[in-house]
């Protein structure tokens, strides 16, 4: 029976187990360039035994950053430090992945521990963009500039160029961030998108930007490497995006060459942020529903803390992989401890330099 420590093959990439590091913003880059912080942050999770290590939301344009301290792949000079990190991840048995993103209405903000508010230009902020002029809400009060068709074209080209740089940087797994109120989610969510052109109104129009972006990325991202999309699989709000919508979208994404749906939820606007934090138990069921109904592979994320819980998700067929965030921050060696708890061999989960002493 398939379990948490069974290998997982996606396209021509094989993960040593079904444990992945969920992308977590570190807000520690310098003009989009990774620093030693990222080497230690990501590298320690590879040493700790994760099969997949996904780097944080990485902006495809400078204006697509959440904060001035976000990671980026909009420039060739951002590639070299990532190559070093990815060599280290592979050396210690993890597949290096990256999440490409555009912050949309949430762009140009202070770091969370510095207030998380939109920054004025004199503070280092910039004008956000989105499907319309409605602000995200909460501390993100700045009105975005409604995107023109030319803006939409530029963003798609930027995703494509960032995917090309990701390949040069040595990534073998790529995820498009289309959740949590960022740009792509704001287009498909009816709670946000009130456009009347080809990118708004009907279901097909609202998903158009995401599908076109996937096509741009898949055109340059090799078929041998998996492509994933993180969705907010439901807005948890009447009149919003639903899991039934996600099932149909999952089928469409699969036909466009997407191999895995990373099933998160909520966050279309500030009003739904409490749902994002409060529905994590329900969120785990989304991966199962979408996997069974759409036929595309899924990743379960949100509130996974226990080895038996994670193992049961895989054994019961609810998802193909589990992604952990906060728990892997608390314990980079969670995979090693999980293997012990589940009676699985710990050999090969962590490097021999560590296993010699603690295995």
- As annotated, the active-site residues are 182
SS3 state at 263: strand
* Pair 314, 6: CB distance under 8 Å: yes
Give backbone dihedrals phi and psi of 229, rounded to 5 degrees, phi first: -135, 130
The H or E element spanning position 173 is: strand 173-178
Element (H, E) at 330: helix 326-330
Give dist(CA 66, CA 108) in Å, integer.
Answer: 6
Which residue in 292, 302, 348, 347 sits closest to 323, CA to CA?
A: 302
Angle at 126 between CA 123 and CA 132, to 5 degrees: 140
Instruction: In whole angstroms, give the CA distance from residue 108 to residue 128.
Output: 7
Using the 8-state DSSP alphabet, how is residue 120 labeled?
P
Kindly state the DSSP code that residue 220 receives in the 8-state scheme: H
Helix axes 243-255, 280-294, angle to 10 degrees: 50
For residues 137, 263, 245, 259, the Cα torsion angle rounded to the nearest 10 degrees is 130
Residues 6+ apart with CB under 8 A from 332: 44, 45, 47, 48
**Secondary structure tally for the chain: helices H, strands E:** 13, 13
What is the Cβ-side half-sphere exposure of residue 326, based on CA atoms within 13 angstroms? Answer: 8
User: How far apart, in whole angstroms, are the C-alpha atoms of residue 2 and residue 18?
Assistant: 10
Helices 243-255/208-220 angle, 10° precision = 30
What's phi and psi for 301, nearest 5 deg?
-145, 150
């Amino acid at each position: 029976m398939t379990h948490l420590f069974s290998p997982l093959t996606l396209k021509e990439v094989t993960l040593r187990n079904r444990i992945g590091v969920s992308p977590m913003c570190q807000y520690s880059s310098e003009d989009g360039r990774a620093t030693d912080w990222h080497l230690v942050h990501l590298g320690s999770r590879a040493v700790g035994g994760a099969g997949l290590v996904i780097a944080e939301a990485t902006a495809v344009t400078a204006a697509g950053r959440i904060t001035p301290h976000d990671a980026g792949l909009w420039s060739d000079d951002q590639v070299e430090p990532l190559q070093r990190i990815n060599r280290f991840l592979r050396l210690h048995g993890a597949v290096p992945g990256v999440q490409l993103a555009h912050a949309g209405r949430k762009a140009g903000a202070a770091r969370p521990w510095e207030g998380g508010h939109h920054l004025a230009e004199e503070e280092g902020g910039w004008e956000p963009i989105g499907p319309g002029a409605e602000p995200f809400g909460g501390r993100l009060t700045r009105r975005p500039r409604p995107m023109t068709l030319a803006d939409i074209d530029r963003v798609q080209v930027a995703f494509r160029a960032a995917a090309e740089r990701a390949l040069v940087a040595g990534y073998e797994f790529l995820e498009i961030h289309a959740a949590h109120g960022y740009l792509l989610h704001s287009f498909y969510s009816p709670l946000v998108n009130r456009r009347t052109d080809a990118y708004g109104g009907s279901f097909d129009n609202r998903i158009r930007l995401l599908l076109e972006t996937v096509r741009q990325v898949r055109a340059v991202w090799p078929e041998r490497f998996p492509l994933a999309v993180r969705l907010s699989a439901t807005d948890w709000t009447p009149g919003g995006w639903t899991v039934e919508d996600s099932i149909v979208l999952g089928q469409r994404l699969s036909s466009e060459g997407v191999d895995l749906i990373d099933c998160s939820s909520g966050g279309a606007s500030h009003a739904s942020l409490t749902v994002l934090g409060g529905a994590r138990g329900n969120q785990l069921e989304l991966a199962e529903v979408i996997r069974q109904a759409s036929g595309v592979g899924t990743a379960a994320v949100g509130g996974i803390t226990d080895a038996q819980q994670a193992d049961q998700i895989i054994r019961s067929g609810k998802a193909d992989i589990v992604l952990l965030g906060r728990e892997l921050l608390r314990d980079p060696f969670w995979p090693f401890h999980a293997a012990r708890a589940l009676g699985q061999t710990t050999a090969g989960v962590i490097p021999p330099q560590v296993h010699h002493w603690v295995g």
